[in-house]
Chains A and B, each alone.
Chain A
């Protein structure tokens, strides 16, 4: 076992090298096992249907075909996956926007302004993080149904504009690390809280906003429950939901399901590689107490 993050000192070269080699062999095989399912899926998505299970253990396909992407893309119920991906993109973009704007505004209020009741509301906010979503599932459905929102994207996007506890908390942590000197100077110059927020703080918290935005995008893109509860017409389906129904409809055409699965994960992977730093920091902050 490797002990916590300490460089071994006073070691002669050979055992040290041997240890390093062992370490890398272990970590590389661990990484391989972790990524194997995903690589297998990508590889299966370009194998002819007859080969997927007969050559299941071969990661590199002997015959490469793009047919699954073509058949899969045709979708079902008269709608192509272009429609489903478009819907997902719209919902994810709206959720992302709502989360970014609301968490910036609310976090600024909590982190910078002293007002009566601030601590109480902050504790309430942290408590809502512990609330199981399934307690909210039924009454929210009842509420949205009464408002005529079922069948629309509103239940899946509007709540994002009113701030999620985790995003607010994450942005707050970031604002707290910015010295107050600048806003105090601006205050003395007669700048209002709104001016301070827009001109001073907002530009400085962009990295935190990118993080919450990316997390909101991924969460919304993968959201299955929301679509299951609220969407009832095929032209409105999101990619995640459509993928499930597509799989139910085309049980034997594994290749097409794999191809569409790969496409549905591609944006997440792309986002990960572009924003890896923000994501890693964002997740890590979860563990830090305010």
Chain B
């Protein structure tokens, strides 16, 4: 099939020529930083003077001295634990609704997707701050509807994190699109057969749609879990971790240590601890997946 010719055209050479950009980038921007970070986690390093090996000292300080570390850890857990399921539920429900045939579907789809396209931007963060200001539009609308309108959303320790979670949930659009395309891929013959057998909509959802969607649910779950542990912008731009550190994300605390106080070693230790937690959680989700993720055995 192949002609003897220029050596550059041999499969094994050409293959590496084509993926060379990826390999160079992998080593320069991922592998080397990855191991540098591991090394820095055991050092004291402020960028100006050389890194000093201090063994496990960063971790000792993290676990036993830095109270904000545990605060940030809890805040992030709470954030992920609430945001991920709520966001998944919204993306699934709206995707189901959009899958119903309608000429207006593209309009609705755009409306639900646009927030997630701009959600990470500075503009939206600043907007959220004004919407939930004490004299902001949310309180005014609540007053309008005769509901209590004196909540200091972003200044009250009981509501601040929830307000930021709401910003994240508002951006359920990407997950929704992924669900939507998966729903459309379910062969309609499955539903037709079930209708013939007399299955109602609820039963069809539970026995056909939901099982067929579990691989996508799994993908979205892993994706959003990783994403929510890395949250940064909303806290940094809207609340700066206030009030009383109730919105101090792990990522914000890490950034502060590393780039405000130039404790790069300590920051790296924090980053590695986060990596381990994320890896453990991802492994847990993967492990559990055999129990609830359904893969069609006969390919399409």
Q: Which residues of A are in contact with B by a Cβ distance under 8 Å?
A: 1-7, 9, 23-24, 26-28, 30-32, 34-35, 37-38, 40-41, 44, 53, 56-57, 102, 105-106, 108-110, 113-116, 118, 121, 124-125, 128, 130-143, 145, 159, 161-163, 168, 184, 187-188, 190, 192-194, 197, 218, 222, 224-225, 229, 240-241, 243-244, 247, 254, 257-258, 260-262, 264-265, 268-269, 272, 276, 279-280, 283-284, 286-289
Contacts and interface: CB of A to CB of B under 8 A. Distances in A.
Interface string B7-34: 0110111111111011111101110111
A73 to B, nearest CB: 15
A109 B17 CA distance: 8
B159 interface: no
Given A4-B205, A264-B123, A283-B177, A128 B30 contact: yes
Interface residues of B, number: 118
B177 A280 contact: yes
| Chain B interface, DSSP helix/strand/loop, else mixed | helix
Contacts of A258: 127, 130
A222 B120 CA distance: 7
Closest 9 CB pairs of A and B: A162-B25, A109-B18, A115-B15, A3-B201, A5-B99, A31-B111, A139-B33, A261-B123, A284-B181
B278 A132 contact: yes
B284 interface: no
Contacts of B282: 130
B29 A135 contact: no
Contacts of A106: 18-19, 21-22
B22 A115 contact: no
A5 B185 CA distance: 11
Interface in B116-136: 117-118, 120-124, 126-128, 130-131, 133, 135-136
Interface in B211-259: 215-216, 219-220, 222-223, 226, 229-230, 232-233, 237, 251, 254-255, 258-259
Interface of B: 1-3, 5-6, 8-9, 11-19, 21-26, 28-30, 32-34, 36-37, 40, 45, 47, 93-94, 96-102, 104, 106-115, 117-118, 120-124, 126-128, 130-131, 133, 135-137, 140-141, 144, 170, 174, 177-184, 186, 188, 191, 195, 201-202, 204-205, 208-209, 215-216, 219-220, 222-223, 226, 229-230, 232-233, 237, 251, 254-255, 258-259, 264, 267-268, 271-272, 274-275, 278, 282
Contact of B19 (A121, A134, A244, A279): A121
23 contacts: A3-B201, A3-B209, A4-B186, A7-B100, A34-B111, A38-B114, A40-B131, A57-B137, A110-B19, A130-B222, A133-B230, A134-B251, A139-B37, A161-B21, A162-B22, A194-B9, A224-B122, A240-B121, A262-B123, A280-B177, A284-B177, A286-B223, A287-B216
